[in-house]
Amino acid sequence: MNQTSETLDMVNAVGGPEPLIFERSVPGRRGFQLPDSGLTQREIDQFIPAEFRRATPPRLPEVSELDVVRHFTRLSQLNFSVDTNFYPLGSCTMKYNPKLNDRIALWSKFALVHPAQPDDTAQGMLRLLFELEQLLCQITGMAAFTLQPAAGAQGEFTGLKIIRAYHARKGRTPSTILIPDSAHGTNPASATLSGFRVKKLASGPDGLIDLRELERQLSDDVAALMLTNPNTLGLFEKDIRGITSLLHEHDALVYLDGANTNALLGIVKPGDMGVDLIQLNLHKTFSTPHGGGGPGAGPVGVTKELEQFLPVPRVRQTSSGFRWDDNVAHTVGRVHGFYGNVGVLVRAYVYIRTLGREGLKRTGEMALLNANYLKARLSDTFPVPFGEHCMHEFVASLKPLKAHGVNAWDVAKRLLDEGFYAPTVYFPLVVEEAFMIEPTETESKETLDAFADALIRIAEEAKLTPDRIKRAPQNLPVDRVDDVKAAREPNLRWHP
């Protein structure tokens, strides 16, 4: 038996992980057949000069089409996904995304529109983008939106460029961005990448921004405060109006990281809080399957005063229809090729139009109800240090299990055995052994109960048989890996 068929037998016997596609390779096997081109060597030399041609064929796996289909279908089934498992990954809003929205985004009338088509021939698409901007303005209370940024982090980057342009117009060059210590990592990363200096704001004892600390840190050098509301602990900044007024008194702006908008839908508008800029993560809140770095969209909304700095082109409604327009007084320029990730924008549009005002409000309310229900079910077992009530997510501490030698990481792995994707762990840093849980509105009470039962069971297990938890996961195709080694010295062969 050669190596390949031995490998295959093992896979079939244990139902274990899939071998590499290269290990399925059999010399000469093909997934396609092409007729002979009939070209002579001289003709080939003429079309493609020798310097541009390979001396040896690429080392590709030699497999049939069916091998390819089965290989990738099996791999896809080794994954956790929202379509197969509860996925309470805090901060990421891994909710179910209606398949209808995918269907419509993939409809040829949308999917095959070319961005270089003349405006006249793409009126429907331009209208959709125009109306989506209006809808996002209504939902957030902002005056104008750009749909260009391709992710939340790129929205932050765009917002920071606008903040810099705003101050430059006033002849100012403040260099500091204030960021609370509970912020998502992209906030300080975007600020630093944009050439600002980051100053960390320590949270108060209640997990919220401490107004006195904020006042102490404010100076002429502060360009903006970047904050998340509800924040990363799942808490609403109650004094948000006081915070935004304070910043404005110092001629500094307030940037709202709107990745947590799921909690606010139909309930409160960021524009009413006095914020100047916000990015929305359409892939989180407005129905695009995400994870694994798939396409996203991070539109940025601004006040009337900041509209003059938005990226170009903007879509405008004129008497003769919808048009792209490069004429924006003090634009920060483009931040994406063409018009952004339009497929994501179509999904968001359909999602918002399908739910309507009432549906969106119910989405927000159910996201809060589900999180509070789960928090109530778990808080006898795991303390939740901040907040009596939470918004759409909460952060529990698994510190009590440390007495048994079990930490948050171990419990996360054990949950995988139980068929649940693990919550976000060790973030935010202000909670020891943090377990950040966001159930979203799309989960049923039965699923939430099953998850709570599993966690409570694991807490019991930690007292009785902590070794089992330390060895988890045991029911998955791959057991506990050495994460650091796996990242630094990846070994892509599945067998030793």
Ligand X SMILES: *Cc1c(COP(=O)(O)O)cnc(C)c1O
Q: Is 263 in the site for ligand X (CB under 6 A)?
A: no
Least Å distance, CB 282 to ligand X, is 9
Six-digit token string for 60: 């590709």
Residue nearer to ligand X on the CB measure, 278 or 458: 278
Residue nearer to ligand X on the CB measure, 19 or 311: 311
Using DSSP, state whether 181 is helix, strand or coil: coil
Residue nearer to ligand X on the CB measure, 260 or 407: 260
Q: How far apart are CA 41 and CA 55, in angstroms?
A: 14
Size of the site for ligand X (CB under 6 A): 14
Q: Is the peptide bond before 473 cis (omega within 30 degrees of 0)?
A: yes
Residues 6+ apart with CB under 8 A from 63: 21, 24, 25, 26, 29, 31, 71
Give the x/- contact pattern for ligand X in 462-491, rule: CB under 6 A: ------------------------------
Give the x/- contact pattern for ligand X in 277-296, rule: CB under 6 A: ----x--------------x
Q: Is 179 in the site for ligand X (CB under 6 A)?
A: no
Q: Is 440 in the site for ligand X (CB under 6 A)?
A: no
Beta strands in 44-202 (DSSP E): 144-146, 176-180, 197-201
Q: Give residues 290-349 in contact with ligand X (rule: CB under 6 A).
A: 296, 298
Which residue shows structure tokens 């789960």?
374
- 238 phi, psi to nearest 5 deg: -65, -35
What are the Cα distances from residue 121, in Å, to 124, 228, 326?
8, 40, 19
Q: Is 133 in the site for ligand X (CB under 6 A)?
A: no
211-219, 252-260, 299-307, 485-493 -> range binding ligand X (CB under 6 A) = 252-260
Q: Is 153 in the site for ligand X (CB under 6 A)?
A: yes
Burial label for 380, CB within 10 Å (0-12, 13-18, 19+), is exposed
**Other Cβ atoms closer than 10 A to 373:** 16
Least Å distance, CB 410 to ligand X, is 25
Least Å distance, CB 260 to ligand X, is 6
167-175, 256-264, 300-308, 394-402 -> range binding ligand X (CB under 6 A) = 256-264
Which residue shows structure tokens 């048989």?
465
Selected binder of ligand X within 146, 158, 228, 229 (CB under 6 A): 228
Q: 174: number of CA atoms within 13 Å, CB side?
A: 25
Q: How far apart are CA 413 and CA 79, in angstroms?
A: 14
Residue nearer to ligand X on the CB measure, 86 or 427: 427
Q: Is 424 in the site for ligand X (CB under 6 A)?
A: no
Six-digit token string for 10: 């093992």
Give the x/- contact pattern for ligand X in 83-112, rule: CB under 6 A: --------xx--------------------
Question: Which of 335, 421, 353 is closest to 148 using CA atoms?
Answer: 335
Least Å distance, CB 394 to ligand X, is 15
95-103, 138-146, 151-159, 191-199 -> range binding ligand X (CB under 6 A) = 151-159
Q: Is 180 in the site for ligand X (CB under 6 A)?
A: no
Using DSSP, state whether 240 is helix, strand or coil: helix
DSSP H or E segment with residue 33: none
Q: Is 230 in the site for ligand X (CB under 6 A)?
A: no
61-69, 145-153, 216-224, 328-336 -> range binding ligand X (CB under 6 A) = 145-153
Residue nearer to ligand X on the CB measure, 153 or 178: 153
Q: Which residue is nearest to ligand X (CB)?
A: 152
DSSP H or E segment with residue 285: helix 282-285
Least Å distance, CB 481 to ligand X, is 24
Six-digit token string for 275: 């914020």
Binding site for ligand X (CB under 6 A): 91-92, 151-153, 184, 186, 228, 257, 259-260, 281, 296, 298
